[in-house]
Amino acid sequence: PRPRRRRSRRAKGKGPRAKEPRKTGEFKVCVCGGAGGIGQPLCLLMAMDPNVKELCVFDLNVAMVPAQGVATDLGHLEKKAAVKGYVMEVGQKPVDNLEECLTGCHLVLIPAGMPRKPGQTRDDLFKINADIAKGIVEACAKYCPDAMLGMIVNPVNSVVPAMAELYKKKGLDPMKIVGITTLDVVRANKFVVRLPAPPDRVNVPVIGGHAGTTILPLFSQDKHAKTIDAEKIPDLDKHVQDAGTDVVNAKNGKGSATLSMAYAGARLGKSVLAGLAGQRRTECAYCKSEITDLPYFAQKVVFGKEGISKVLPLGELNEYETKRLEEVKVQLKGEIESGLKYAEENS
Ligand code: NAI
């Protein structure tokens, strides 16, 4: 007998099987410094995230373009997000101006601040940028205390401890504040170049901090990267550490990493929102920590419905990484202390 042929759904006149629609979040996101070099492409990428229902672009009246302009422009994307711009005059306080902008926010991304110029370290920017961050963080504490705050503004190693301690003093959860170190992970993945594995299949955790020697990529923990010859690792490690400075020099006084940073910031931001929507995501981020003897550390965290739902252990380190970790700790300790001192003197 001829084998019975199964009739397709189409032959039965049924059309393709309806897929279970994936539930998306309905989140409100604000980008502070949203009209700047990082801010604009970051707003673009966040406006494309199906989890974003409302996007607020906040910047000063002296920004490169008005925040309303960025918002009107992005408001024409055929995406769900409604986009609104908020402008504040220089010298005014966010807490007096951002009630509507921040109320109801689930995620606030903060690239507001001065970028590095050639010859400047991230630390040179500390006082100026910490004051900018403080104004914004205080407004978040008042209008959206449950939101996750992603700090892009440098120096992340000192700004984050300063802001998290200010949150703690207000009785808020310091784990709501994370420093975005995702660009180090993105760079490490890209620099590994392990064909046929494309860079987005490589996942090198980068721990420690977000400046110079404090950046510690754990190449041994990725299945592609761990096949690299041991003698090539120090150069690769250094390449990741110096990559930000390479961009500063290549831009020749006209800014630091903006596009790759926006990509990395959006990766982290989207992971936070996916977590809030119930799809857990693991990322490295710089925040309050108990996994080493340092109180702040870039570590593997799991984003869930409440923000950070879990901090993962360091995992196994090889001999080179173990030695580097000691170097990281010495440098990072001082940078954390600058942040703690700022919080002490400015609360
Ligand atoms: P930018 O100068 O192009 O943009 C900064 C924006 O912040 C400007 O539009 C400015 O008007 C705005 N701004 C300044 N003070 C503000 C305030 N009080 N309230 C609201 N907005 C304010 O600089 P860019 O290149 O976008 O860099 C921003 C920050 O990100 C810098 O601190 C830079 O060092 C840092 N950065 C961090 C990286 C990371 O991996 N975490 C990588 C690259 C840069």
Q: 209, 201, 159: which is closest to 181 by C-alpha?
A: 209
Residue 98: predicted pLDDT:
98
CA–CA dist 204, 212 (Å, integer): 17
Residue 338: predicted pLDDT:
96
Q: What separation in Å is there between the alpha carbon of 33 and the centre of ligand 1?
A: 6
Amino acid symbol at 220 = S
Q: What separation in Å is there between the alpha carbon of 59 and the centre of ligand 1?
A: 10
Ligand 1 atom, smallest distance to 182 CA: 40
Contact 294/333 with Cβ under 8 angstroms? Answer: yes
Ligand 1 atom, smallest distance to 258 CA: 25
Nearest 5 degrees, angle CA 132-CA 135-CA 137?
105
CA–CA dist 345, 327 (Å, integer): 28
Residue 300: predicted pLDDT:
98
Regarding the beta carbon of 116 and ligand 1, being less than 6 Å apart is answered yes
Q: What separation in Å is there between the alpha carbon of 242 and the centre of ligand 1?
A: 20
Backbone angles phi, psi at 258, to 5 degrees: -120, -50
Give residue-wise pLDDT tens across range 58-81. Answer: 999 999 999 999 999 999 999 999
Regarding the beta carbon of 37 and ligand 1, being less than 6 Å apart is answered yes
Give residue-wise pLDDT tens across range 170-196. Answer: 999 999 999 999 999 999 999 998 667
User: Cβ of 238: how many Cβ atoms within 10 Å?
Assistant: 13
Q: Is 139 left (phi over 0), alpha (psi -120 to 50) or beta?
A: alpha
Residue 124: predicted pLDDT:
79
Regarding the beta carbon of 255 and ligand 1, being less than 6 Å apart is answered yes
Burial label, 183 (beta-carbon count in 10 A; 0-12, 13-18, 19+):
buried
Tokens 């392990």, located at residue? 194
For 33, 36, 134, the CA distances from 62, given in Å and listed in that order, are 11, 10, 19
Ligand 1 atom, smallest distance to 122 CA: 34
Which residues, 6 or more positions from 280, have their beta carbon under 8 angstroms from its beta carbon?
Answer: 274, 302, 303, 304, 309
Regarding the beta carbon of 336 and ligand 1, being less than 6 Å apart is answered no
Q: What separation in Å is there between the alpha carbon of 140 and the centre of ligand 1?
A: 18
Regarding the beta carbon of 257 and ligand 1, being less than 6 Å apart is answered yes
Q: 273, 267, 264, 270: which is closest to 307 by C-alpha?
A: 273
210 has catalytic annotation = yes
Regarding the beta carbon of 265 and ligand 1, being less than 6 Å apart is answered no
Residues of the chain with pLDDT under 70: 1-3, 5-22, 194-195
CA–CA dist 216, 207 (Å, integer): 5
CA–CA dist 126, 158 (Å, integer): 7
E strand or H helix that includes residue 344? helix 319-345
Q: 249, 66, 34, 63: which is closest to 152 by C-alpha?
A: 34
Site to substitute for ligand 1 among 31, 32, 38, 215, most atoms within 8 A of C-beta: 38
Contact 282/260 with Cβ under 8 angstroms? Answer: no
Which residues, 6 or more positions from 56, have their beta carbon under 8 angstroms from its beta carbon?
Answer: 28, 29, 30, 31, 34, 71, 83, 84, 85, 86, 101, 102, 105
Residue 199: predicted pLDDT:
83
Q: 308, 321, 35: which is closest to 205 by C-alpha?
A: 321
Ligand 1 atom, smallest distance to 247 CA: 43
Ligand 1 atom, smallest distance to 62 CA: 11
pTM above 0.90, yes or no: yes
Regarding the beta carbon of 114 and ligand 1, being less than 6 Å apart is answered yes
Residue 155: predicted pLDDT:
95
Regarding the beta carbon of 204 and ligand 1, being less than 6 Å apart is answered no
Residue nearest to atom 18 of ligand 1 (CA): 132
Residue nearest to atom 34 of ligand 1 (CA): 115
Residue 32: predicted pLDDT:
98
Regarding the beta carbon of 129 and ligand 1, being less than 6 Å apart is answered yes
Q: What separation in Å is there between the alpha carbon of 34 and the centre of ligand 1?
A: 9
Ligand 1 atom, smallest distance to 129 CA: 32
Q: What sign does the dihedral 134-136-138-144 (CA atoms) show?
A: negative
- Bond before 155 cis per omega within 30 degrees: yes
Site to substitute for ligand 1 among 31, 43, 56, 60, most atoms within 8 A of C-beta: 60
Q: What sign does the dihedral 297-285-222-327 (CA atoms) show?
A: negative
